[in-house]
Structure 1
Amino acid sequence: MLPKKLLLLLQLLAQLLVAGGVDFAYEGFAGGGTRQLSLDGMATIMPDGLLLLTNDTNMSKAHAFHPDLVTLRPALPTAPGTTAVPTATMSSFSTTFVFAIASDLVGLSTSGFAFLVVPGNARDALASAMPAQYLGLFNTSSNGDPRNHVFAVELDTVRNPEFGDMDDNHVGLDINSLNSSVAATAGYYDDDAGVFRNLSLASREPLQVWVDYDGATTEIAVAMAPAGSPRPKRPLLSTRIDLSTVIAADTAYVGFSSGSSIVLCRHYVLGWSFSTGGAAAPPLDHAQLPKLPRVAGPPKPPRSRATLAIALPIMTTTAVLAAVAVGVLVHRRRLRYAELREDWEEEFGPHRFAFKDLHDATGGFKDKRLLGAGGFGSVYMGALPGSRTQVAVKRVSHESRQGVKEFIAEVVSIGRLRHRNLVQLLGYCRRKGELLLVYDYMPNGSLDKYLHGDGDGGSKPATLGWAQRLRIIKGVASGLLYMHEDWEKVVVHRDIKASNVLLDAEMNGRLGDFGLARLYDHGADPHTTRVVGTMGYLAPELMRTGKATTLSDVFAFGAFLLEVACGRRPIEEGDEEDVYGDVERFVLADWVLGHWRNGAIAGAVDAELRAAGVYDAAEADLVLRLGLTCMHPSPAARPSMRQVMQYLDGSTPLPELPPTYVTFNMLAAMETHQGVLRSLSIWRAASSVATISDIGVDSGR
Structure 2
Amino acid sequence: MAVHFILLCFLFLGTSASFASTTSLATNATADGSPARQSSGSGGGGNVTTFSFSGFHPDLRGTNLTVVGDASINQGALQITPDTGNNAANFLVNKSGRILYSDPFRLWRAESTGGKKVASFHAVFTVNVYRFNGTEPAEGFAFLIAPSADAPPAGSYGGFLGLTNAATDGNGGNQIVAVELDTEKQPYDQDDNHVGLNVNSVVSVANASLTPLGIEISPIGSAKYNLWIDYDGAARRIAVYMADVSQPKPASPVLDSDLDLGATVAEKSYFGFAASTGIKYQLNCVLAWNMTVENIPWDEPGKSKSSLVLGLAVGVPVAVFVLAVAAALGYFLCVVKRRKVDRDEGGSGSVITGTMIRSLAGGPREFDYRELRKATSNFDERMKLGQGGYGVVYRGVVVEDHNNPAAAGTTVEVAVKKFSRASTQGQNDFLSELSIINRLRHKHLVRLVGWSHDDGELLLVYEYMPNGSLDQHLFSSASGSRQREPLGWELRYSIVQGVASALHYLHDQYDQRVVHRDLKASNIMLDAAFTARLGDFGLARAIETDKTSYMEEVAGGVHGTVGYIAPECFHTEKATRESDVYAFGAVILETVCGRRPRCDIDGFHFLVDWVWRLHRDGRALEAVDPSLDGAFDEDDAERLLMLGLACSHPTPAERPKAQAISQILLRAMPTPHVPPFKPSFVWPAIDGGFDTMSTTAGTTSSQVSTVMTSSSAGSGNFMRGSQSHAPPAPEQDTSGSLV
Q: TM-score with structure 1 length normalisation? A: 0.46
Larger gyration radius, structure 1 or structure 2: 1
Q: TM-score with structure 2 length normalisation? A: 0.44
